[in-house]
Amino acid sequence: MDKSNVPEHIAIIMDGNGRWAKKKHMPRNYGHSQGSKTLERVCEDAYNMGVKYVTVYAFSTENWSRSEEEVNGLMSLLRVYMKDAIKKSKKNNMRVRIIGDITRLAPDLQESIRTLEEASKDYTGLQFQVALNYGGRDEIIRTVKKLSSKVKEGTLSVENITEEMFSDNLDTKGIPDPDLLIRTSAEQRISNFMLWQLSYTELYFPEVLWPDFSKKDLEDAIAYYNKRERRYGGV
């Protein structure tokens, strides 16, 4: 594949873990644990294909409303994932950042996240973002609050609030907007993911359930992206 045609930033809504498990008569959390294996593989494949940034939706601000058992299962999975990621990020020269409001996560998980972000901050390989307790509306509101308090303190004047400086105060500060969004499992919704950043992103909705998402599915997604003629409101 010609690397010049590969999207620089792919965002993924990893959906369908529950349905995948159900089809196998297994508990939903089995689907999530298989889904986390798929994610590792996809990051590797994407990077080898020339993708620079991958951002995945792992847990939304709305996902707290799932059963206690499922939420606990997801949190345990994240704990293991974050610990492993410290070693893997070093091995693969991968920078990991978390987007979302981590203050609602357990203190030990917050600590692992800080350690991982700090340890990987200079790595120049794949730039990998994980959205945890993330909601696009919540992110925008937190940004508005941040900017409002600067205005109140007198360190920011209202006239200086531009799109660029607003972007610089989002969780994705310094990260280019996604070129391609993939949502698996045939659902065609944004579900509160990266509302600001997806303004001009190409959208792709394959039917495959996330745990089954293969290298071929990723190639198909990129081929779809290459067929699009991107437009930004011009002619």
Residues in the chain, overall count: 235
| Binding of ligand IPE by 19 (CB under 6 A) | yes
Alpha helices in 50-67 (DSSP H): none
15 catalytic? Reply is: yes
| Binding of ligand IPE by 16 (CB under 6 A) | yes
Residue 138's binding partner, choosing from Mg ion, ligand IPE, none, with beta-carbon cut-off 5 to 8 A by kind?
A: none
Sequence-separated (6 or more) residues with CB below 8 Å from residue 208: 16, 184, 185, 214, 217
Give the range of 46-54, 58-66, 80-88, 150-158 binding ligand IPE by CB under 6 A. Answer: 58-66
CA atoms lying within 13 Å on the CB side of residue 86: 14
63 catalytic? Reply is: yes
Question: Residue 76 Cβ, how far from ligand IPE at the closest point, in Å?
Answer: 13
- Nearest-CA neighbor of 193 among 112, 150, 132, 145? 132
In whole angstroms, give the CA distance from residue 197 to residue 175.
10
Indicate which single residue of 6, 10, 11, 13 sits in contact with ligand IPE (rule: CB under 6 A): 13
For Mg ion, the closer CB: 15 or 179: 15
Which residues contact Mg ion by CB under 5 A? 15
Which residues contact ligand IPE by CB under 6 A? 13-19, 57-60, 63, 74, 185, 187, 189, 191
